[in-house]
Amino acid sequence: MKVSKTTAAQRCEMRQVIIYPGEDGYWVAECPSLPGCVRQGRTKGEAVANIREAIQVYVAALKEDDLPVPEERFKTLVVAV
């Protein structure tokens, strides 16, 4: 019997995150595909670390409650104006 091993990349779920400077000097990070999933940090790196943890907790809570996990449905573009 062959046992397959799951790699970290296979377990990793990708989510788009928007990061921008907040009015209070902190960086704000939000995940549009998970309504209300927003965090902030003193630095960009801290904001990204905080939103990563928030996404993991959000998805785990949905699964624990047997609720559907929203699919990533956003595409982003940078547009010159």
pLDDT tens per residue across span 45-77? 999 999 999 999 999 999 999 999 999 887 777
pLDDT at 1: 53
pLDDT at 80: 87
- DSSP 8-state code for residue 40: E
Is residue 10 scored above 50 in pLDDT?
no
User: Residue 28 in contact with residue 44, Cβ under 8 Å?
Assistant: no
pLDDT-based confidence at residue 9 (cuts at 50, 70, 90): very low
Residue 62's H or E segment, with its range, is helix 44-64
* Whole-number Å distance between alpha carbons of 62 and 59: 5
Structure tokens at 20: 């921008």
In the sheet that holds 27-30, the strands lie side by side as: 18-21, 27-30, 38-41
Residue 33's H or E segment, with its range, is none
Hey, what CATH topology would domain 14-64 get?
Answer: Double Stranded RNA Binding Domain (3.30.160)
Is residue 20 scored above 90 in pLDDT?
yes
